[in-house]
A and B are shown apart, each in its own frame.
Chain A
């Protein structure tokens, strides 16, 4: 980093920078814009360079042997680079991004980013049938991580910027700003309500703007406006959902199985393993050139109805096999793009059959190819919300959205039933990593306040004297006691405050007065009447106890906050979590303990 003397900088600038660094929100917004622009430009360069390189490797009218030799050579070169210099750049990039986020405080090295860029570019240009979106996400997240660390931000800030970079990359790679936001939240962060939402949206929008500035306003796929021809056609889309779900499961299982087999091979063979993928792709590509590369051209053809049933069916099968082998053998590239390819081919095949049988009441195969992409995405990636929005964005076709949602849900359900773990989670697990999952909520979260609510004791009256109140609470272990008037609950009073008043001999003082004195205390917020509701999680009750210092909280009605339904105590919460049972274990049978 170049050394700039602080003394050489204008004092005003220094103050501005220091002010900016102190105000995290402002800095975060500024960085979102900067990361969005930088990542967008890097991803555009990545796409263009891959395209130009592919055009050089496979010029028009080139001999057929190139389709075998180039994928083999490409996988050999990238295999060596990955083995020797960039071991982190293998595969998709999304599990790696999640690992960086959840294990390494968002740290991704610039070297692995550069490695991902170079190796993926080479691999995809040489015809390896993997996707560019996963690597782009890793590149974006890595750039965000690098910038944040270079700026000396805190670990928390570095972590929060990783999904921001990922969203910006996906937005530019796929031309889908909304889906990028959803994907980043749904798949990378695993929480749709994450506090980084604003930054993610800003970065995604900026990257999208950059993409449009350089490449113009062109959707990823040009698709004619398809629509549901008849309500009965939904039946065909249901079939597509089922077939799409089954194909997704087949694809994921085959990929994971092959990856496990390759993992058992000697480590010394790591550099040559990708060639197995390259050779498989080359052989397939010799007979069916459409299998080579990302395959978006072929998807576009199919989406536009250029469908021959036999061809699309064969391409779906070949793509499943070639992508699985290429990925499992350790080539650089993701499964995002191939998933769409497989979905489009499967959809077109189902659509062609449906149109053959019911030509009057079904749309052309192109419509089914659109929906098929969504089903495969929902089945493989398991991000159903993202998949609907993504298909809408890549095709800019709203009219097919209802069949898309139905088919997606079916595929998602089938995939969930037959393949327990989503692909990225399963890949991380194969690598020995246990990253947080959004599919299984923590059991504790399911515990609600109602599980620990007990009957409230007879409330104190605000006009009651300290002597009368002391008489009522003296035998109780409750830390606080509810106070109610004729209209209902007015607050909580601490039993230790009553005891203190008794000790000071102020027996005639009213509870109202005692509560007013407590109100003046800056640390006591009992006058705000902290409370919980029966349907809130117990964790909320714990948090509220921590905030207010009460160990007893009133449980009140949502319809009227002054109607007390019961109370919840700290001990009750512990018991609901099972802590109490552990404490009550009988040790008599275990004298050694």
Chain B
């Protein structure tokens, strides 16, 4: 077939032999063209880069605004455009990945962050974004590593607050994962970092309670109260720490103090008060109780512990649950109230609680019951 639109055949003209002068002139023209083109290209590249960067910045701002308004999908389109126009700016890539994560596509977000990390694996912002993606995907160990790289990575000047935020995100992750030792390891370095920031001090103190170090929390709360004795939140925190320490009476006193300082928060304080009262009412080891009261409370504690344990153990091993019921019935049916029987009840409750904690780790613990057992263990 002959396609006339593309006349590839053109007459071959004989090549004329050039003289030396023509040869030199041609070479001179070529070299001049090279120099001219180099200047032209360099200028054009600059104009192009400036134009692309300016457009990218506009796209980025629009994208961020839309994402902040909750319009994730159009926001992503603008962020994508920004990333395409200025791929060197990792802030655009991070924003796009975070928006993609918010859209519920952690896989894609991760893929977007990988090239940025390959370019600079010490970039704090990229590592923080990657940590969030990994945490969302439930890859906790990898997320922890990324958080660490974010905390100790490279941030632009003035981004200390973001670095601290990254640490607190890691701390929250560790608290959720109940990784107490690692949580404590993260808290200790920042214990004295923010002595002037009351809110952050209270947050740290609360996390010490979560990390199983309520005495450190008490120290911080007391220090806050020394500076401002009318800080109701500090009293609430102190009460939380006291409950963890098993000092229920002090906890109640602290909650009352908080209630006096901040009557507006009485509803939330009331629920805490109820918890504290129920703990106080449940604890058979409270000083000053009669033998009968101790016995009643010990039986009550045992029954509550068994019923809490049964909720998960019955599903796991029904025969164990049945045996527990039988044993408990036998112990609690003994009529005579004696000190050994009280100790026996408490001891059995403690053993069952231990069994429950080991077998039903993921189960949510009963607040009051857990606090009483905590105290007994102490």
Contact = CB atoms under 8 A, between A and B. Distances in A.
Contact of A306 (B13, B27, B38, B80): B80
A48 B41 contact: yes
Interface string A2-34: 111110010001100110010000000000001
Q: Count chain A CB atoms within 10 A of each CB in B4, B24, B84, B111 and give the residue with the most.
A: B111
Given A224-B115, A432-B1, A99 B9 contact: yes
Contacts of A306: 80, 100, 108, 111-112
Contact of B3 (A51, A222, A263): A263
Q: Count chain B CB atoms within 10 A of each CB in A60, A61, A267 and give the residue with the most.
A: A60
Nearest to B10: A104
A214 B38 contact: yes
Interface in A249-308: 259-260, 263, 267, 270, 273, 297, 300-301, 304-307
A48 B12 contact: no
B319 to A, nearest CB: 36
B15 interface: yes
| Majority secondary structure of chain B interface residues (helix, strand, loop or mixed) | helix
Contacts of A34: 27, 30-31, 34
Contacts of A152: 15-19, 22-23
Contact of A364 (B29, B55, B107): B107
Nearest to A98: B8
Contact of B15 (A2, A13, A155, A259): A155
Nearest to A91: B6
A1 B25 contact: yes
B45 A215 contact: yes
- In the complex, the 3 A-B pairs of residues with the closest C-beta atoms, listed nearest first: A305-B111, A152-B18, A224-B114
Given A364-B107, A431-B8, A304 B115 contact: yes
A52 B51 contact: yes
A98 to B, nearest CB: 9
Contact of A14 (B2, B12, B20, B112): B20
B34 A38 contact: yes
Contacts of B51: 52, 55
A168 B343 CA distance: 91
Interface of B: 1-10, 12-13, 15-27, 29-31, 33-34, 37-38, 40-42, 44-45, 47-48, 51-52, 55, 58-59, 62, 80-81, 84, 87, 100, 107-108, 110-112, 114-115, 118-119
Contacts of A9: 20-21, 24
A527 interface: no
B112 A304 contact: yes
Nearest to B19: A6
A95 B8 contact: yes
Contacts of B15: 105, 148-149, 152-155, 158
Interface stretch (A39-47, A121-129, A584-592): A39-47
Given A3-B25, A9-B20, A155-B15, 10 more contacts: A2-B25, A38-B34, A41-B38, A87-B7, A152-B15, A152-B19, A224-B118, A305-B112, A330-B5, A432-B3
A150 interface: yes
Contact of B37 (A13, A45, A297, A430): A45
Interface in A61-98: 61, 87-88, 90-91, 95-96
Contacts of A430: 1, 3
A49 B41 CA distance: 9
26 contacts: A1-B25, A17-B24, A45-B44, A48-B45, A55-B52, A88-B8, A96-B6, A99-B9, A105-B12, A107-B10, A109-B10, A147-B26, A150-B18, A151-B26, A152-B23, A213-B38, A223-B115, A263-B3, A304-B111, A305-B107, A305-B111, A305-B112, A306-B100, A431-B1, A431-B2, A431-B3
